[in-house]
Each structure stands twice: as C-alpha cells, then as structure tokens.
C-alpha cells in the first residue's frame, strides 16, 4: 500500500462521507451466508447483551406497584400510576427538574469546550515529555472521590482563609471575602467548574486519541498552502475530531437528566437547597432511603423516556446535517 492511495482517499473523504452508507440489503439466505462471519462475530454478543441488559427490564413493572422486597413479585400491590403521580405532583419536583437540567447543561457545554480546547493546546506542544506529563497530571483528579474533591472545593471557597477569596482580594476584585457556597445563584457555576477541574484531563483523552487518526499529510499540505497555527487547528484538527465530538455530543444529550447527586449533596447546604437538589437526590431521599423501589423505578422510566426522545431528535438533526450519527 502506498501513500498515494491514502492521500487520495483522504481527499475524496468529504464527498464519500456525505453519501449515506445505507445500502439496501435484503434479508435472504444468500446474504446470511455471505455475511456469516459478520454474524458469528456479532450475534453472540448481541444475545449476551439481551440477557444482561434486557432480561431484567421486567423490573420496570415495579413502577406500577408498591413494591416490597419481602413479597414475591406477583403478590405485590398494583397501584397503577400512583408512583408517577407522586413524582410529578410534588411541589419540589419542578424545581428539582430545573436544577438537574441546568447543571447538566452547564456541565455539557463546559465539559466539551474545555476538553477540546485542552486537547488542541496539548496537541501543539512539541516537547513530547512535557506533553505526556501534562496529560498524565491533568487526569489525576479523576481518581479522587467526590468526598475528597468536594472537601478541597469547600475549603478553597471558605471565607476563612480560602484560597479563592484570598486571591480575589489580593487582585482587588472583591473588597471582602464572599461566602460562595451560601448564594444559590453561584451554586450551578461552582458545580460546573468543579466538574471541569476534576474531569477535564480525563475527557481530553478521547480527543487526543481521535487526533491521531488525522493524516499528517493534511498538515503538511496546509503548511505548504501557508496556513498558520490557528488555521490548521480550525481547518484540519477540528474537522478531524468532528465525528468523535458529534457522537459524544449526541450520546451525552441523552444524559441531560443525569446530573448526579454526589457533588451537589456534598457542596449543598440549607441556604442553597433550592438550587442544589437534583432528581437523583430526590429519588434517593423519597425512594431508596424509604425502601420505595417503585418510586426509584418510576423516576428511572421517566428519565429513560426523556433520554431516548432527546437522543433520537439529536440523531435525526445530525442525519439531516449529514454528520456522523449514532444509528
């Protein structure tokens, strides 16, 4: 195989990608036989998946019961939509939903922007040792539990010699220490930044891998054309990781209702409770800790429905724009 083939391929890539790869194949013995290797390589794994992920979905029936673990499944009390009603009719639920979506959205945007930016800048470092060191160090916080991480965040934000207040005072940006964690309207931002701090290095890894799939000759070609550094980032690197970015984006849009609970629980307090409670905290408090598995299941079903709808909307938008997509 020669370089010429490869460059030729890359150059025609744009055109080829627009073509929908879906080529009508009908289900017949002939195709089955022709694709028997593909079938052997995939169907057993699919069966495995059905067993481990789909079989237990019978448990969703619990959402329509008042499930008590002590009784056998068929002796349970069927209550129809009562669990869903409890969920949606609670005064707090709307606020909780708002907080969840807001924090997820902030995490999504900040997470993507910072990870891609860091990946691009890391990619510019020419000293390999320095680059690898920065990469490795930046992913360290991922390995700390939220208990430790939140402890550090809380200490840093303290009015009592907290580093954030000290620095801001030195810079004369504030005249007296601010009690960051007591103000509801700072809470989402604090959670968002904490997430960036903890996960940015980890999130970068996948883009760094994607960057490796870019053909170096494209950079060379761009250089010959007189493109500058930022030009190359814009017209070579970013398009090169675009498919990864879009796929991750579509997948993450489906997790908009999963804002988690740990960091909110650990940083939250009575004064910001209207901003800090998420669906997961709500479910933990009124579901699991009261032994109400049915409520937890009902909330899970609600989240699934929302997720699947969002993912398919995002997917069809991607399809219309001719971008990489999930299905």
The interface with other proteins within residues 80-99 (CB under 8 A) comprises: none
- Contact at 8 Å (CB) between 101 and 257? yes
Q: Which of 102, 168, 249, 326 lies at the binding interface for other proteins (CB under 8 A)? A: 326
Dist CA 28 CA 61 (whole Å): 37
Burial class (CB in 10 A: 0-12, 13-18, 19+), 107: buried
Q: Which of residues 290-309 bind other proteins (CB under 8 A)?
A: 290-293, 296-297, 300, 303-304, 307-308
- 101 or 244: whose CB is closer to other proteins? 244
Q: Report, in Å, the least distance between residue 14 CB and other proteins.
A: 12
SS3 of residue 113 by DSSP? helix
Dist CA 248 CA 206 (whole Å): 10
- 214 or 317: whose CB is closer to other proteins? 214
Q: Which of residues 112-171 bind other proteins (CB under 8 A)?
A: 118, 121-122, 124-126, 130, 132-145, 147-152, 154-155, 158-160
Judged by CB under 8 A, the number of residues near other proteins is 130
- Contact at 8 Å (CB) between 297 and 62? yes
Bridge partners, 78 (sequence order): 65
Q: Which of 215, 235, 238, 262 lies at the binding interface for other proteins (CB under 8 A)? A: 215
SS3 of residue 230 by DSSP? helix
Q: Which of residues 175-214 bind other proteins (CB under 8 A)?
A: 179, 181-182, 197, 200-201, 205-206, 208-214
* Cα R_g (the chain), whole angstroms: 25
- 102 or 159: whose CB is closer to other proteins? 159
- Contact at 8 Å (CB) between 184 and 272? yes
Q: Report, in Å, the least distance between residue 174 CB and other proteins.
A: 15
Could you give the C-alpha distances from 28 to 43, 115, 131, in angstroms and in order?
16, 46, 53
- 222 or 255: whose CB is closer to other proteins? 255
Of 94-102, 103-111, 165-173, 228-236, the segment contacting other proteins by CB under 8 A is 228-236
Give the per-residue contact string, 39-68, with other proteins (x = CB under 8 A; - = no). xxxxx-xx-xxxxxxxxxxxxx-x---xxx
Dist CA 284 CA 265 (whole Å): 11
Q: Report, in Å, the least distance between residue 124 CB and other proteins.
A: 6
């Amino acid at each position: 195989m020669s370089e010429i083939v490869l460059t030729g391929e890359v150059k025609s890539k744009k055109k080829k990608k627009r073509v929908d790869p879906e080529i009508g194949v009908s289900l017949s013995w002939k195709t089955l036989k022709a694709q028997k290797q593909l079938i052997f390589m995939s169907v057993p794994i699919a069966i495995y998946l059905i067993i481990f992920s789909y079989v237990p979905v019978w448990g969703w029936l619990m959402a329509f019961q008042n499930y008590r673990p002590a009784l056998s499944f068929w002796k349970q009390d069927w209550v129809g939509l009562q669990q869903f009603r409890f969920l949606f009719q609670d005064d707090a639920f709307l606020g909780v939903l708002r907080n969840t979506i807001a924090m997820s959205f902030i995490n999504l945007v900040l997470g993507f922007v910072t990870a891609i930016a860091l990946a691009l800048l890391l990619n510019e470092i020419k000293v390999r040792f320095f680059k690898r060191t920065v990469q490795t160090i930046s992913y360290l916080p991922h390995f700390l539990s939220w208990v430790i991480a939140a402890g550090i965040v809380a200490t840093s934000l303290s009015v009592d010699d907290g580093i954030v207040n000290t620095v801001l005072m030195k810079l004369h940006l504030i005249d007296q220490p601010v009690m960051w964690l007591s103000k509801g309207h700072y809470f989402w931002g604090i959670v968002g930044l904490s997430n960036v701090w903890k996960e940015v290095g980890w999130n970068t890894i996948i883009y760094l891998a994607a960057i490796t799939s870019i053909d170096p000759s494209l950079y060379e070609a761009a250089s010959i054309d007189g493109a500058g550094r930022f030009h190359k980032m814009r017209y070579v690197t970013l398009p090169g990781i675009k498919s990864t970015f879009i796929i991750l984006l579509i997948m993450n849009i489906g997790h908009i209702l999963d804002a988690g609970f740990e960091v909110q629980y650990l940083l939250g307090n009575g004064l910001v409770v209207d901003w800090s409670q998420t669906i997961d905290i709500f479910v933990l408090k009124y579901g699991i800790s009261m032994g109400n598995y049915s409520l937890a299941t009902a909330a899970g079903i609600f989240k699934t429905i929302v997720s699947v709808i969002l993912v398919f909307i995002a997917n069809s938008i991607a399809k219309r724009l001719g971008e990489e997509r999930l299905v």
